[in-house]
Amino acid sequence: MPRPIHATIHPAAVRANLERARRAAPDARLWAVVKADAYGHGIERVWDAVRAADGIALLDLAEAQRVRQLGWRCPILLLEGVFEPRDLELCSRLSLWHVVHCDAQIDWLSAHKTHAPHRVFLKMNSGMNRLGFAPGRFRAAFARLSALPQVDEISLMTHFSDADGARGIAHQLAAFQGASQDLPGERSICNSAALLRHGLQAGVRLDWVRAGIALYGSAPDHPERTAQEWQLQPAMTLASRLIGVQQLNAGDTVGYGSRFVAPEPMSIGVVACGYADGYPRHAPSGTPVLVDGVRTRLVGRISMDMLTVDLTPVPGAGIGSAVTLWGRGPGGALLPIDEVAQAAGTIGYELMCALAPRVPVSVEGD
């Protein structure tokens, strides 16, 4: 039989999460963000769910072509815009909308020969300090775009740096509104965190919202709020099985570097999963794991192909017992990916995107 590690994608969960995002902004149109191959889930695997959105947002042209090949005829937005002038030719051919965040992109548009003018989203740097025009230069950029025959409708957007935390969005929202208040065009300002935490507050205009991590069942502000508190369902399960069991005496060590020392006699299970599968090597002892649906903990250092778990809470476990690294376990048990990520000092996004190509993936319901 093949090595027992396996990932399962749950499209029904993505669909439910998309509807949860809609309830947070019932009058807005919704971008389903599928960048990074749908956050590691696979665009094609979640397609039946995300096509319920009003638009698809992503980063690169190859993914845009895949979405068009799936039969999508509605808007596609390139979130970072084009990377060189010739990309505009494919934007024309595929009818892509694209972000404009710098003068070079306006220059490329002004030299672009096209029969159909482009729909663009002009991005403001309201405080994130990654991409976009500073508030003081935003209106000049809008004026330049408005004068181009290559440009049709102009929408306005920004991205919040602290929507998931205590600082919130007020300072960036004020900057955005101050520089754009009398400019025409639809607005897109809310990502998952802003949508769930701030979307219905006064002054937040919701023409287009961008649902990313929320679609895949991770809380954008974990650990302050959990996915379950936001009524989000896990869209990915990473599961394996025990392939070995060892009996330890007090003082015995486990794994490379002898990082874990048994405090008393105990059983440990060896799981077919390691960092070459995408499990974080830096996950420490104590990281939660489910064995036969029972919560236990990781012990020792992660190896390339194996990790070890404490079997004290599951004395009946043995070779072949089910192991859930994150997602849905036996008997309705649940291990949120955010908990695993937090224990490993990272975020759920990284674990989703890091799933290794060697891990077999199936789609629930297929």
Distance CA 24, CA 266 (A): 48
Asked if residue 66 lies in contact with residue 44, where contact means CB atoms within 8 angstroms, the answer is yes
Q: What is the DSSP annotation of 278-342?
A: T--TTPPTT-EEEETTEEEEEES---SS-EEEE-TT-TT--TT-EEEEEEE-GGG-EE-HHHHHH
Taking CA atoms, 271 is separated from 48, 85, 305, 320, in Å, by 33, 49, 9, 9
Residue carrying structure tokens 């934007």: 91
Q: Which of 257, 258, 243, 354 is nearest to 305 (CA)?
A: 243
Distance CA 162, CA 231 (A): 22
Residue of 113, 216, 256, 349 marked catalytic: 256
Taking CA atoms, 45 is separated from 55, 70, 73, 364, in Å, by 17, 11, 19, 9
- Residue 14 phi, psi dihedral angles, 5° rounding: -60, -40
- Non-local CB neighbours of 22 within 8 Å, separated by 6+ positions: 30
Residue of 35, 39, 216, 279 marked catalytic: 35
At 247, which helix (H) or strand (E)? strand 236-248
The question of whether 256 is a catalytic residue gets the answer yes
The question of whether 39 is a catalytic residue gets the answer no
Distance CA 48, CA 287 (A): 33
Going by the DSSP 8-state scheme, the letter that residue 117 receives in this structure is P
Residues that are catalytic: 35, 256
